Amino acid sequence: MSDAATPAVTCAGAPADWQNPLRDKRDKRMPRIAGPCGVVIFGVTGDLATKKLMPAIYDLANRGLLPPTFALIGFARRDWKDQDFGDIVLTAVKAHARTPFRQEVWDRLAEGIRFVEGAFDDDAAFGRLADTLKKLDAERGTGGNHAFYLSIPPKAFPQVLEQLSTSGLATKPDGCWSRVVIEKPFGHNLKSAEELNTLVNSVFPESSVFRIDHYLGKETVQNILALRFANQLFDPIWNAHYVDHVQITMAEDIGLGGRGGYYDGVGAARDVIQNHLLQLLALTAMEEPVNFSPDELQAEKIKVLSATRLVAPLDDNTSRGQYTAGWQGNEQAVGLLEEEGFSQTSTTETYAAITLDVDTRRWAGVPFYLRTGKRLGRRVTEIALVFKRAPHLPFDDTMTDELGKNALVIRVQPDEGITLRFGSKVPGHAMEVRDVNMDFSYGSAFAEDSPEAYERLILDVLLGEPSLFPVNQEVELAWKILDPALENWASHGKPEPYESGGWGPESAFEMLRRSGREWRRP
Ligand code: BG6
């Protein structure tokens, strides 16, 4: 606990919150700069901290978006001094930052770097953490404002939350803030997510809880809102009258070697469908919010997730697979069961596909197909609205042999942009119609680089802007949608094998074929 000699907390410069009407009147094109604050990272030795969090903090500093008094505090069971931790951060920054290295930016950031050695069950270590933060408040001017980033295994959440509560770090005097940032997985089913939410909310009010879904920080994901609600062109056709079905694909070419500790027993559906893909569905299918305040945006997402359910029978309308050895381009890949860190009898799925109905007037009868997988042919994330065929084609069949269905594709990554696919006459004397693509690409349309998702999200935490963070109800609804598929798969034993470098198990193809549809080949 803090000792009597530690200077008193001085609350200063906490940014106004979203309820402040003046804030909404400001010009949102102006750069948003965080007020005085510090970030404490639990789990600094992990991959996420090294590859994403520490580099994102440097990138924010480099872009002038952090206060000069900013502090970064690492907490871990390592025998490190502040300087040792500083060296670790520097190495991570040099290896993974998005923006160029600038010595003067680094020097200023390094002055605010501290390290606290301790285990999560060590009360004294949390006392030392409280002391360190108080000293930083007084000496560096962090203003009594602290974000606690839990980049740790979920089983450690309860212990750390309790320590933050008993050490007094979770509650702050008026004018100061204390926020908690939680990485996924947020529970492993509805019941555990509800329990975790109850626990989190017993320590931090919901307005101070920032659950990370890094897909919501991606530029192209935010562009779904611009595309849908800033244009007149798309809304009239964004419904069951025109859309045949929607495909949301998140394909990765990487395997899981070394990630067994996290992934084995979790699987593709819990890893990304429960969060990233259902969030993409919510943004694609929701109604227009009254405005873009966090409450209004969340209200629409909650409404559409409440109307979303798996299509029965589950055996026909879901699919799961596990990759086996194969060729990924010209590299030979081993199967999951040979990967380091996985049990030889693992039944963890590395591919999952589900069919959903959204029971609203806009989407009645339009299936939403979601799929994700590791070791697939190519890395691509996209949302494709596939349209119905024209009701009448005044051409001979031979003229339209090569005409598919029109499609509007939001290319989330890589090659971020939007593609419109439609039929066009092939040049020549004959009337022959074939599919062509019209492309918008971020890279050629804009000179600006997009910030990394974690840059945007960390800055939003420091500004207290919650729009891009799923609230408790969203997380629970997503589990409620997915749970029946997880339970059904659990009763079936092993997932279906699929070859590395391919596009998933046969049952996934069959899932669409049954209704005369097929997956897009990205
Ligand atoms: C994470 C998943 O949330 O997203 C990983 O846990 C996945 O399994 C990653 O590889 C993909 O993120 P991105 O931004 O590279 O698409």
pLDDT, position 19: 42
SS3 310: strand
pLDDT, position 3: 43
Domain 38-183 sits in which CATH superfamily? NAD(P)-binding Rossmann-like Domain (3.40.50.720)
Q: Is 81 marked as a binding-site residue?
A: no
C-alpha count within 13 angstroms, C-beta hemisphere, residue 487: 10
pLDDT, position 4: 42
Q: Is 184 marked as a binding-site residue?
A: yes
pLDDT, position 21: 40
Mutate to test the pocket of ligand 1, among 252, 275, 412 (most ligand atoms within 8 A of CB): 252
Is residue 487 packed enough to be buried (19+ CB in 10 Å), middle (13-18) or exposed (0-12)?
Answer: exposed
- Confidence class of residue 5 from pLDDT cuts 50, 70 and 90? very low
* HEC assignment per residue over 85-100: HHHHHHHHHHHHCCCC
Lowest mean pLDDT among 28-32, 467-471, 473-477: 28-32
**pLDDT per residue as tens digits for the range 236-265:** 999 999 999 999 999 999 999 888 888 998
Helices (H), 117-156: 123-135
Q: Is 191 marked as a binding-site residue?
A: no
Task: Output DSSP code: residue 27.
Answer: -
- Confidence class of residue 18 from pLDDT cuts 50, 70 and 90? very low
Task: Output DSSP code: residue 516.
Answer: T
Q: Which two structure tokens, joined as six digits, stand for 269?
A: 């559906």
476 close to ligand 1 (CB < 6 Angstrom): no
Q: Between helices 190-203 and 472-490, what is the axis angle to 10°?
A: 150
Mutate to test the pocket of ligand 1, among 182, 184, 271, 383 (most ligand atoms within 8 A of CB): 271
Give yes or no for a contact between 469 and 211, defined as CB atoms under 8 angstroms apart.
yes
- Count of H helices and E strands in the chain? 18, 18
Specify the amino acid at residue 175: G
Element (H, E) at 183: none
Q: Is the dihedral of CA 115, 158, 172, 454 positive or negative?
A: positive
Q: From residue 47, how far is each of 53, 150, 373 by CA, in Å? A: 9, 13, 21
Number of other residues whose CB lies within 10 A of the CB of residue 387: 18
Residue range 470-484: mean pLDDT, rounded = 97
pLDDT, position 32: 83
The question of whether 146 is a catalytic residue gets the answer no
Give yes or no for a contact between 474 and 302, defined as CB atoms under 8 angstroms apart.
yes
Give yes or no for a contact between 285 and 481, defined as CB atoms under 8 angstroms apart.
no
Q: Is 402 marked as a binding-site residue?
A: no
Ligand 1 nearest atom to the CA of residue 276, by list position: 3
**pLDDT per residue as tens digits for the range 178-211:** 999 999 889 999 999 999 999 999 999 999 999 9
**pLDDT per residue as tens digits for the range 378-390:** 999 999 999 999 9
pLDDT, position 28: 62
271 close to ligand 1 (CB < 6 Angstrom): yes
* First vs last C-alpha separation in the chain: 56
Q: Is 374 marked as a binding-site residue?
A: yes
CA max distance for the chain:
91
Residue range(s) occupied by CATH 3.30.360.10 in the chain: 217-513
Residue range 165-172: mean pLDDT, rounded = 94
Q: Is 271 marked as a binding-site residue?
A: yes
What does the alpha-carbon distance between residue 78 and residue 10 come to, in Å, rounded to a whole number?
30
C-alpha count within 13 angstroms, C-beta hemisphere, residue 493: 3
Read off φ and ψ for residue 471, nearest 5 degrees.
-85, 170
Candidates 336, 328, 342, 419; CA nearest to 378 is 328
pTM for this model (two decimals):
0.93
Give yes or no for a contact between 147 and 461, defined as CB atoms under 8 angstroms apart.
yes
What does the alpha-carbon distance between residue 137 and residue 145 come to, in Å, rounded to a whole number?
8
- Thinking of the domain 217-513, which architecture would CATH place it in? 2-Layer Sandwich (3.30)
432 close to ligand 1 (CB < 6 Angstrom): no
* pLDDT over threshold 80, residue 429: yes
- Taking the centre of ligand 1 as the mean of its atom positions, its distance from the CA of residue 52, in whole angstroms, is 12
252 close to ligand 1 (CB < 6 Angstrom): yes
Candidates 374, 380, 352, 412; CA nearest to 227 is 412
Element (H, E) at 369: strand 368-373
pLDDT, position 30: 65
Ligand 1 nearest atom to the CA of residue 381, by list position: 16
- Taking the centre of ligand 1 as the mean of its atom positions, its distance from the CA of residue 48, in whole angstroms, is 11
Q: Which of 188, 276, 392, 492 is catalytic?
A: 276
* pLDDT over threshold 80, residue 31: no
- Taking the centre of ligand 1 as the mean of its atom positions, its distance from the CA of residue 81, in whole angstroms, is 32
256 close to ligand 1 (CB < 6 Angstrom): no
Residue nearest to atom 13 of ligand 1 (CA): 215
pLDDT, position 81: 96
Which residues, 6 or more positions from 29, have their beta carbon under 8 angstroms from its beta carbon? none
- Taking the centre of ligand 1 as the mean of its atom positions, its distance from the CA of residue 112, in whole angstroms, is 30
DSSP string, 195-238: HHHHHHHHHS-GGGEEE--GGGGSHHHHHHHHHHHS-SSSGGGS
Given strand 209-211, what is the order of strands in its sheet?
113-117, 71-76, 38-42, 146-150, 178-182, 209-211
What does the alpha-carbon distance between residue 503 and residue 512 come to, in Å, rounded to a whole number?
14
What does the alpha-carbon distance between residue 98 and residue 85 come to, in Å, rounded to a whole number?
21
Residue range(s) occupied by CATH 3.40.50.720 in the chain: 38-183
CA angle in degrees (0–180, nearest 5) for 481-161-84: 115
* pLDDT over threshold 90, residue 117: yes
DSSP string, 395-432: S-GGGGTB----EEEEEEESS-EEEEEEEEEPSSSS--
Q: Is the dihedral of CA 357, 358, 360, 362 positive or negative?
A: negative
What does pLDDT average to over the chain? 92
353 close to ligand 1 (CB < 6 Angstrom): no
- Taking the centre of ligand 1 as the mean of its atom positions, its distance from the CA of residue 337, in whole angstroms, is 21
pLDDT, position 460: 96
pLDDT more than 70, % of the chain: 94
SS3 480: helix
What does the alpha-carbon distance between residue 130 and residue 116 come to, in Å, rounded to a whole number?
10
What does the alpha-carbon distance between residue 401 and residue 258 come to, in Å, rounded to a whole number?
47
SS3 280: helix
Candidates 47, 62, 40, 237; CA nearest to 146 is 40
Specify the amino acid at residue 332: Q
pLDDT, position 401: 85
What does the alpha-carbon distance between residue 512 and residue 368 come to, in Å, rounded to a whole number?
11
pLDDT more than 90, % of the chain: 84
In total, the chain counts a number of residues equal to 522
